[in-house]
Structure 1
């Protein structure tokens, strides 16, 4: 699978429909795929494979939903996990959590983000740790920050989705 991640901003009715599928992985992924094929989703943010490094740099360098501290650990993986299987990660944040994440990202010190990047273990991370990699992550971090700011302004929930 590609491991390319993306975020969706969901209004209240769509978030409610998403949450109904919690516990039924197949129906959850089918619902998300259907959303991808319609214009019902007001905002989407594709992040390629940058989600992995961004999560590590916002937390403690590891790849898990429990790593780091809230609200930065909720940007990518630390929200409510909705998919129980191993084929996908689906992480949900409520509108209130989206506002808290957006505020944290707006105040994020990019120097500390870069410092965490340079401390990543390339073997654990699975990619070289170099200037190009940092530029790649910061480019997508800006997109994620804009996504959360817009979702917070409009009172939307967020869901992060990646196949594994």
Structure 2
């Protein structure tokens, strides 16, 4: 699964939440497709490829449990409101985006490396070697910079992995 974070507009946010409130996953899927196909540029978007998996594990409890870990780091990837049943479409509000951005500022390389080395989940498919950590660290840096931009823009965030 390839992961992407979007800093969505207020209109996109309202539409997605309304569809979710109605339990309409088809509309959520259509709205996501529209967002992906018509995204105007990369400033308020970040592709994490497959690094999102290890990033989430490092920032939480070592698993892909959306409820694992502590707020607000747990929200950076999978810890928000899930809008779809078949794949990851995870929403966090603009206020939560600001909290995540602030928390990510405090994450240093040595801390993330300790967390990475502690991943013991047999479902993790990465190599768990130095190259895998560098890939994770690079992806984390991109996610941290993205959250700074999203928070500065006052945007909610949508994470997808399909």
Can you give the 5+ residue segments of structure 1 that lack an aligned partner in the other structure? none
Per mean C-alpha deviation after superposition, the further-off stretch among 117-126 and 22-31 is 117-126
Equivalence for 1:34: 34
Give me the TM-score of the superposition, normalised by structure 2: 0.93
- TM-superposed deviation, 1:154: 0.7
Per mean C-alpha deviation after superposition, the further-off stretch among 112-121 and 142-151 is 112-121
Aligned pair count reads 159
Per mean C-alpha deviation after superposition, the further-off stretch among 5-14 and 35-44 is 35-44
Q: What CA RMSD, in Å, does the superposition of the two structures yield over aligned residues?
A: 1.4
Give me the TM-score of the superposition, normalised by structure 1: 0.92
For residues 36-51 of structure 1, what are the structure 2 equivalents within 5 Å? 36-39=36-39, 43-51=44-52
Equivalence for 2:7: 9
- TM-superposed deviation, 1:40: 5.2
- TM-superposed deviation, 1:110: 2.2
Distance 2:18 2:160 in 1: 17
- TM-superposed deviation, 1:152: 0.3
Contact 1:95 1:155 in 2 (8 A): yes
Distance 1:114 1:25 in 2: 37
Distance 1:107 1:127 in 2: 25
Can you give the 5+ residue segments of structure 2 that lack an aligned partner in the other structure? none
Change (3 A) 1:73 1:122: closer
Contact 2:62 2:119 in 1 (8 A): yes
Distance 1:122 1:69 in 2: 18
